């Protein structure tokens, strides 16, 4: 790179989270990138004054909006107000202050929970706002839908006059190193990894999984997702827009699904738990099936690389490193 060439200054909002840390690891390897990030103590993304001051003091070319309050079924059921407030505030403030400071490119990271509970499977981008959401995570989903519509609205109003290009990516269920292993607030894979490991260590003869085990889920390794994010952020606008057509977000998934029951068996085998696996039918199952239609991004030229078993093996090894 020529010394006179301008570096691309990239703000990763949420760089310490699972997705943010994967993005950081990937983007710092690319010559010409200059990464900018702040911890929560340094910058409260729900505080408009602090975010405004940050963007005024920093010259930012791209924003990866990976910061969010996330959690599993229990957390979403227990703290719905926290989920809708925090996520609405973070995304609204960051998007608006980024725009006001002159940021031309922004990638908003959403979630597959934006789609109706009984969407046609696999779920196409056109399914958005066509039915009732899954009640257990509706507040979080509504916040993410609002994020899509915020980016869409800013593009509609300001693309021609200000040259902005704010894109939205909807990942399937993500997992990988850096995930949250809290016993109550974690998602399914990290939650099962921790509980199976602790059950193995304790020598327990049985293990109980929430729900019937019949719901089917799609999972994507986080490093595959960060690769997709970087790919989409820098994809030529004409190619991106032509493929999206009338929708304003794009799905990113692995294209493979597995039942929660079989997922439990897979994780038990990787962890080395040899007891009996039981199911608690008194606990909610959530959406019966969630598989994204990722044909748009596949046709553009991206597809996932990490098989589920291999990804969980990597994740478990990283988890062991955090508790030893």
Q: Name the catalytic one among 64, 74, 140, 154.
A: 140
Contacts of 196 (CB under 8 A, 6+ apart): 207, 264, 267, 268, 271, 273
**Residue 104, Cβ neighbours under 10 Å: how many?**
16
Active site residue 154: no
Contacts of 92 (CB under 8 A, 6+ apart): 146, 150
Rounded CA gap, 98 and 104, in Å?
A: 8
Q: What is the pLDDT along the chain (324 residues), one digit of tens a residue?
A: 444 568 999 999 999 999 999 999 999 999 999 999 999 999 999 999 999 999 999 999 999 999 998 877 777 888 899 999 999 999 999 999 999 999 999 999 999 999 998 899 999 999 999 999 988 889 999 999 999 999 999 999 999 999 999 999 999 999 999 998 987 778 889 999 999 999 999 999 999 998 899 999 999 999 999 999 999 999 999 999 999 999 999 999 999 999 999 999 999 999 999 999 999 988 877 778 889 999 999 999 999 999 999 999 999 999 999 876
Rounded CA gap, 66 and 14, in Å?
A: 5
User: What are the structural domains, with CATH classification, of the chain?
Assistant: 8-323 (3.40.50.720)
**Model pTM?**
0.93
């Amino acid at each position: 790179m020529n010394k006179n060439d301008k570096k691309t200054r990239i703000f990763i909002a949420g760089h310490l989270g699972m997705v943010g840390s994967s993005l950081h690891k990937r983007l710092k390897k690319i010559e010409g990138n200059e990464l900018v990030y702040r911890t929560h103590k340094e910058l409260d993304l729900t505080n408009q004054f602090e975010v405004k001051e940050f963007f005024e003091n920093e010259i930012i070319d791209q924003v990866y909006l990976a910061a969010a309050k996330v959690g599993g079924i229990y957390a979403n059921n227990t703290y719905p107000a926290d989920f809708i407030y925090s996520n609405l505030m973070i995304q609204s403030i960051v998007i608006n202050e980024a725009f006001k400071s002159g940021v031309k490119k922004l990638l908003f990271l959403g979630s597959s929970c934006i789609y109706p509970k009984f969407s046609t499977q696999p779920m196409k981008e056109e399914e958005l706002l066509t039915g009732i959401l899954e009640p257990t995570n509706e507040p979080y989903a509504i916040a993410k839908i609002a994020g899509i519509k915020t980016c869409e609205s800013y593009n509609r109003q300001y693309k021609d006059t200000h040259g902005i290009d704010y894109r939205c990516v909807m990942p399937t269920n993500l997992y990988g190193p850096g995930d949250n292993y809290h016993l109550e607030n974690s998602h399914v894979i990290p939650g099962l990894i921790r509980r199976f490991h602790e059950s193995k260590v304790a020598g327990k003869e049985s293990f109980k999984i929430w729900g019937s085990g019949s719901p089917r889920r799609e999972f994507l390794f986080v490093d595959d997702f960060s690769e997709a994010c970087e790919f989409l952020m820098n994809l030529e606008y004409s190619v991106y827009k032509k493929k999206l057509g009338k929708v304003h977000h794009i799905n990113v998934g692995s294209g493979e699904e597995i039942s929660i029951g079989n997922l439990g068996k897979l994780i038990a085998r990787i962890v080395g738990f040899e007891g009996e696996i039981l199911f608690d039918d008194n606990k909610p199952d959530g959406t019966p099936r969630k598989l994204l239609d990722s044909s748009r991004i596949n046709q553009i030229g991206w597809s996932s690389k990490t098989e589920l078993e291999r990804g969980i093996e990597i994740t478990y090894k990283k988890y062991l490193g955090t508790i030893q």
